[in-house]
Amino acid sequence: MAEAKITRKSKETDIELLVRFPGTGQSKINTGVGFLDHMLTLFSKHSGMDIELDAKGDLEVDAHHTVEDVGICLGKACTQLFPDIEKRNRFGHAVVPMDEALSEVAIDLSGRPYLHFSADLPRVKLGTFDIELTEEFFRAFSNHFKITLHIILRYGKNTHHCIEAIFKACARALAQSLEENTNYARYGSSTKGMIDS
Ligand SMILES: [Mn+2]
């Protein structure tokens, strides 16, 4: 089991993060933003990564800095944990329903950051979590893990369900992309012979 530890302190947030892979289904998450804790707990479970996270952010402003900086730290942790993408599936895809909502996510552990985020969501809050922070979280994550990440919400009515379907699909697609591939272990997953920017 490999682990990565990230400590990040700024004037806006103070974050300690430990990620283990392959995980045991355990997570201990406290960001002060209840909905984000809920999303990261299920992200941990479905991605196969154990996440221990303690984040203290400037919630008196709003949840923006906390959500974004947690995404940055998670991306950095994954970069540390997976230096051997050539041996893994590299691509991952998942379509995940959450009751009436359906989300599709495709991932390429490409070494190049790119986020496509297509979700028609109302600009509401779930607890202290602004819905538009979902995109900010995944942008920070894809920028710092340097992956190509396409997120599409196909449909859905309940905003909580929609966001949950997105996080679950992302976790499942990520788990697939991270699986070790015996063929690629022999000859690599890139025709260039390397994965980089
Ligand atoms: Mn839920």
C-beta atoms surrounding 143 within 10 Å: 16
Residue 115 main-chain phi, psi, to 5 deg? -125, 125
Q: What's the CA-to-centroid distance between 35 and ligand 1, angstroms? A: 8
CA 38 / ligand 1 centre spacing (Å):
7
pTM, entire model: 0.96
Q: Ligand 1 centre and the CA of 162: distance in Å?
A: 10
Distance between CA 157 and CA 140 in Å, rounded? 26
Kindly state the tokens that stand for 115: 């986020």
Read off the tokens for 12. Answer: 């806006």
If you average pLDDT over every residue of the chain, what do you get? 96
Q: How do residues 79-137 score in pLDDT, each as one tens digit?
A: 999 999 999 999 999 999 999 999 999 999 999 999 999 999 988 999 999 999 999 99
Output the CA 193–ligand 1 centroid distance in Å.
42
Q: Please report the pLDDT score of residue 197 as a whole number.
A: 56
